[in-house]
């Protein structure tokens, strides 16, 4: 069984101050943000956050009447080099696994990066990636980066 990472997805009206409110709440409760990405349209958006303590963050944001969900994702270690991402998406494509949402960040320039991916059939994708020799990070490993 793969211990998947969970990201917070906060659904919000696209207006000034919304991100400030979220980050202030997390800071006030001692929750470290590891990565953030925002996708927005004209009126609404989704703020995706990787945090050190997703369960606590979920409770804090939910108690503040924010629309928040915990979403399982894969944290895939990859080389920080040309072709690092391509190697992962090639393997996913080879196994007919669709990437529904993704973002990445560099851990050590020129050495290591991490792809955060929400994919179809998470357990199957994790199994196949591991079988293909890729490293999936656990929540604890990700928190220690």
DSSP letter at 80?
Answer: S
| Same domain? 89 vs 48 | no
Determine what percent of the chain falls in helix, strand and coil, rounding each to the nearest 5: 30, 40, 30
Is 41 in the same domain as 98?
A: no
Residue with tokens 């669709």: 98
pTM: 0.89
Residue 46 belongs to what domain range?
Answer: 5-72
Does the structure show a pLDDT above 80 at 2? no
HSE (CB half, 13 Å, CA atoms) of 51? 26
Q: What pLDDT score does 116 carry?
A: 96
Average pLDDT over the chain reads 93
Query: What DSSP letter does each residue of 25-76 carry, written as one string?
Result: HHHHTTPPEEEEEEEE-SSEEEEEEEES-HHHHHHHHHHTT-EEEEEEEEEE
CA angle 65, 53, 45 (to 5 degrees): 45
Same-domain check for residues 119 and 81: yes
Task: State whether 51 and 80 are in the same domain.
Answer: no
Find out whether 53 and 45 touch, Cβ atoms under 8 Å. Answer: no
pLDDT at 142: 86
CATH number reported for the structural domain that contains residue 68 in this entry: 3.30.2130.10
Per-residue pLDDT of 7-57, as tens digits, reads 999 998 888 888 999 999 999 999 999 999 999 888 899 999 999 899 999
Kindly provide the b/e burial profile for residues 47-57, where b requires at least 16 CB atoms within 10 angstroms of the residue's own CB: bbbbbbbbeeb
Number of domains in the chain: 2
Helix (H), strand (E) at residue 125? helix 122-131
Which whole number is the average pLDDT over 67-71? 96
pLDDT score at 1 = 55
More confident residue, 142 or 48: 48
């Amino acid at each position: 069984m793969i211990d998947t990472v969970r990201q917070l997805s906060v659904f919000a009206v696209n207006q000034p101050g919304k991100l400030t409110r979220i980050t202030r709440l997390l800071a006030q409760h001692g929750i470290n943000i590891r990565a953030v990405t925002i996708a927005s349209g004209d009126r609404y958006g989704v703020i995706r956050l990787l945090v050190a303590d997703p369960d606590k963050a979920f409770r804090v944001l939910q108690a503040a009447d924010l629309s928040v969900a915990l979403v399982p994702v894969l944290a895939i270690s990859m080389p920080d080099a040309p072709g690092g991402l391509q190697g992962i998406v090639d393997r996913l494509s080879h196994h007919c696994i669709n990437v529904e949402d993704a973002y990445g960040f560099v851990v050590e320039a020129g050495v290591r990066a991490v792809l955060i991916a929400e994919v179809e059939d998470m357990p199957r994708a994790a199994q196949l990636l591991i079988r293909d020799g890729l490293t999936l990070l656990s929540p604890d490993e990700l928190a220690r980066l």
